[in-house]
Copies of this chain bind each other. A is one copy, B any other.
Amino acid sequence: MAKKKKAARPASKRATKPASKPCPTRRSPCPIACTLDVIGDRWTLLVVRDLFLGRTRFKEFTASPESIPTNILSERLQRLLQSGVIKQVPASDGSKRLAYELTDKGDALRPLIKAVTKWGLQWEEGTRIGMTPLEK
């Protein structure tokens, strides 16, 4: 298996090289298929959305309006950790619990999230921006 490359981080932009090993169940080398192997389901991008909005804790993700089932959330967080999209960090409240943060690879999903948002607002009737960034 190819070894992961260490990402250099330019001053102006985020890192540009892979931060995790390829998905073992890859269907083709197509970048769309491979991206969908990582984030192609009904829940994963909602967790990524929450992270972009400043939510970092398991209980914060479960409090989102879609009411993600806890077993699905646990599984998706594990998958996002394995694929290098998120990382575990100490909770900001000083407790022993862990929180989650986007890695550079996860942060690079911002344009994709924006494109999804824009399409939804334009084409799915009754959608609206309702969630606000979490105050810390």
A residues lining the B interface (CB < 8 Å): 2, 4-5, 16-23, 26-38, 40-43, 45-46, 49, 64-67, 84, 105, 108-109, 111-131
B46 and A36 contacting across the interface, CB-CB below 8 Å: yes
Cα of A84 to Cα of B123 in the assembled complex, Å = 10
Chain B residue nearest in CB terms to A35: B120
> A2 CA to B56 CA in the complex, in Å?
36
Q: Knowing A18-B123, A18-B124, A22-B125, say if A65 contacts B27 (CB, 8 Å).
A: yes
Q: Is there an interface contact between B116 and A35, defined as CB atoms closer than 8 Å? A: yes
Across the two chains, which residue of chain B brings its CB closest to A52? B32
Complex contact B16–A125 (CB within 8 A) = no
